[in-house]
Homo-oligomer: A and B are copies of this chain.
Amino acid sequence: MTSKQRVLLLGATGETGGSILAGLLEANQFDVEILVRPSSSEKPAVKQIADRGVNVRVSDLNAPENELTATLSGIDVLISAIGPHDLLQQKTLVRAAKSAGVKRFVPCAFITIAPPKGGMMLRDDKEEIYNEIKRLVVPHTIIDVGFWHQISFPRVPSGRVDYAMMMPKATIHAGGNAPNILTDLRDIGRFVARIIEDDRTLNKYIYTWSDVLSENEIFDIVQQVSGEEIEREQESAQEIEERLAKASSAVAENSTDPMNRIMLYMAQYDYSKYVRGDNQPAYAKFLGYLDARELYPDLKPISFRECFAEVLDGKGRLPYH
C-alpha cells in the first residue's frame, strides 16, 4: 500500500468502538475519522475525540443512500461498532459503502462465536447485515472477539473488585466446564488494526482471543491471584433454559422494551456459552473462522490473569460507565 488507508469508525464512543479507536490511533498508520449521528455530534465524548485531531463526519444513518454515499466519500475502510439495538440500521450503510467504493466494510460483529441463525437474537440481526453484504458483493471482514475479560470475572468475598462489576456475582453456569474464548476489551482495537491491513482477512470471518478458559478455570485464577476463597453459586443448565424461556416470552410480548431485549441477550449468551458451548475455537473453525493469533503471532494480548490482577489493584474500570 503506497498511502495510508482512510478509516471511518462508527460507534467510537461505545466500549468496542472506543477500543477500536484507540487501536487505530496507536497503530499510527491510518487516517482515522469517526462517523456520528447528528444527535451525538455535540456530545462531550465526541468533542474529546475531535480534540485529539480526529475528523468527525456527521450523518443520519436513516438518510437516503446517496446522502450516506457522499458521507463515505474517500473512505477505504468502514468499521461499524454500532449498538446492539441499532444493528439493522446498517442496511443503508452497506449499500452506501458499495456505491462509495469502500474497499473493506467491517460490520458490527465483535461478539462470541455463535450459530448464524436461531441461537441468539443479537447474532440473527448481524446475520441479516452479513447477508446483505454478501448479496451486494461488498468487500468485508467479520471480526468476533469472544467475551471480554472485563465482564468475565466473579465477585471476591472482600468486595475489592465490586467497583468494576456491573453485577457483582459469583455464579458458575451449567457446571462451569465449557471453555470460552476471551479477549481483553483493550486488545480489540489492536487486533482490528492488524486485520484491516491484511489481505488474508478480506471476505473472511476471524476471531481474536487471549485465553480460552472455562468458568471453573477462571474462578481458580481469581482465587490464586486474590488469595480469597470464592463461594461458587451454581446455575444449572435447566435453570438457564428456564430463564431463557422467560426472557423469550417477555420479548415476544414487548419486543421494543430495551430491558426485555437485554435480559434475553444475557440469557442467550449464557445458554450459548455454557450450555451449547458455542464460544470455542473448535466451533469457530467449524464455522470457517480464521484465528487471529495464528495470523499475528507477535501480537501479545493481555491475558485474563493480567487483566484481573489490574482490577484487583484498583486499576479496573466499570464498563458502560
Query: What is the interface of chain A, defined by CB distance below 8 A to chain B?
Result: 115-119, 131-132, 134-135, 137, 203-204, 283, 285-288
On chain B, the residues within 8 Å of A134 by CB distance are 115-117, 286-287
- Across the two chains, which residue of chain B brings its CB closest to A128? B117
- Across the two chains, which residue of chain B brings its CB closest to A205? B288
Known contacts A115-B131, A116-B131; 7 additional CB pairs below 8 A are A117-B134, A118-B132, A134-B286, A134-B287, A203-B286, A203-B288, A288-B288
Contact B204 A137 (CB under 8 A): no
- Across the two chains, which residue of chain B brings its CB closest to A130? B116
Smallest CB separation, A207 vs chain B (Å): 15
On chain B, the residues within 8 Å of A283 by CB distance are 137
Contact B135 A118 (CB under 8 A): yes
What is the total number of copies of this protein in its complex?
Answer: 2
On chain B, the residues within 8 Å of A117 by CB distance are 131, 134-135
CA distance A283 to B138 in the complex (A): 11
A-B residue pairs, 4 tightest by C-beta: A115-B135, A117-B131, A118-B135, A203-B286
On chain B, the residues within 8 Å of A204 by CB distance are 288
CA distance A134 to B118 in the complex (A): 10
CA distance A286 to B132 in the complex (A): 14
CA distance A286 to B131 in the complex (A): 13
Smallest CB separation, A112 vs chain B (Å): 14
Contact A286 B119 (CB under 8 A): no
On chain B, the residues within 8 Å of A115 by CB distance are 131, 134-135
CA distance A131 to B137 in the complex (A): 20
On chain B, the residues within 8 Å of A116 by CB distance are 131, 134-135
- Across the two chains, which residue of chain B brings its CB closest to A283? B137
Smallest CB separation, A135 vs chain B (Å): 4
CA distance A135 to B203 in the complex (A): 22
Contact A118 B137 (CB under 8 A): no
Smallest CB separation, A213 vs chain B (Å): 21
CA distance A135 to B277 in the complex (A): 11
On chain B, the residues within 8 Å of A203 by CB distance are 285-288
CA distance A203 to B283 in the complex (A): 11
Smallest CB separation, A191 vs chain B (Å): 21
CA distance A116 to B130 in the complex (A): 10
Given contacts A203-B288, A204-B288, A119 and B137 within 8 Å (CB-CB): no
On chain B, the residues within 8 Å of A285 by CB distance are 203
Smallest CB separation, A106 vs chain B (Å): 16
On chain B, the residues within 8 Å of A288 by CB distance are 203-204, 288
Smallest CB separation, A268 vs chain B (Å): 13
A-B contact pairs, 23 of them (CB 8 A): A115-B131, A115-B134, A115-B135, A116-B131, A116-B134, A116-B135, A117-B131, A117-B134, A117-B135, A118-B131, A118-B132, A118-B135, A119-B135, A134-B286, A134-B287, A137-B283, A137-B286, A203-B285, A203-B286, A203-B287, A203-B288, A204-B288, A288-B288
